[in-house]
Amino acid sequence: MAGHPRPLSPHLQVYRPQLTSFTSIMHRLTGIGLAVGLLYLVCWLVAAASGLEAFDRLQSFNGSIVGKLLLLGWTIAFFYHLLNGLRHLAWDAGWGFELPAAYRTGYAVLIGTAVLTILAWVIGYYRMGAF
Amino acid sequence: MAETTESTKSLRSPIARARGLGSAKEGVAHWWAQRMTALALIPLGIWFVASVVCLAGADHAAITQWLSAPFTLGALALTLFAAFYHAALGLQVVIEDYIHGKVAKHALIILIQFAAFAFAVSGIIALLMTAFAG
């Protein structure tokens, strides 16, 4: 280690937030959130298999404020991780690595996430007969 | 130059000691599996979320009817398998990045891999029970 100062990882407190670092961190966070969501999905499937009573209890939780916030969070996380995942796969294929392209696709991911989340919830409420 | 003395003392050749110790440590298998499950989850994930959105407000009978359809059963089993596999691979990288204790790191990775497969199997069994219950 003598003599050669090695490059350090960006230190979060002094690292100026950028769109590229933000989208990278969010990919991880949404991934962790979706892993928790998968556990909830299994609970939902087990409840559906257990019969009407268990299923209705879970569905009424889904309809509560906390339940709706969780479902909204998972919707955002899903669309974000899907779109940013496509961005990662494009990078793996060697496309879009230039800084302007990385910023364009970064904004596209954020806008796409917002649009798809709103669309999903509008369709969901429409199917429930809200309007 | 302590490292030089150490390496000349060893009977193992430098290439033998270096093998498997690259930045990826285990080669490309993890990286490749992460991408393949990601690819599979693009159609599976979109199908699942679109289906659930369309089922909003449906009662138990309607949900179990949907879950019992052969296509749903197959697609959802594949989704569970790919998603839990993908999640285990992704969480493993997060643990490798942030947990530095050797025992804690490996214990957590093993725990997550066991849990992922246990939950995936639980979900698939629940699906089969729903499909063949009535």
CB contact under 8 A, B55 and A48: no
d(CA A120, CA A72): 10
The DSSP annotation for B89-119 comes to HHHHHHHHHH---HHHHHHHHHHHHHHHHHH
| Model confidence at B1: pLDDT above 50 | no
Q: Report the residue of chain B nearest A41, measured CA to CA.
A: B123
CB contact under 8 A, B45 and A78: yes
Which residues 6+ apart lie within 8 Å of A100 measured at CB?
A: none
CA distance A68 to chain B (A): 12
> pLDDT tens digit string along A53-98?
999 999 999 999 999 999 999 999 999 999 999 999 999 999 998 9
Q: Which amino acid belongs to residue A5?
A: P
> pLDDT tens digit string along B37-96?
999 999 999 999 999 999 998 999 999 999 999 999 999 999 999 999 999 999 999 999
CA distance B19 to chain A (A): 22
**How far apart, in Å, do the first and last CA atoms of chain B sit?**
74
Q: Which CATH class is domain B28-133?
A: mainly alpha
What pTM was estimated for this model as a whole? 0.86
CB contact under 8 A, A38 and B129: no
CA B92 distance to own-chain centroid? 9
State percent of chain A over pLDDT 70.
95
Q: Which tokens hold the place of A115?
A: 């649009």
| Model confidence at B25: pLDDT above 70 | no
CA distance B11 to chain A (A): 25
CB contact under 8 A, B56 and A48: no
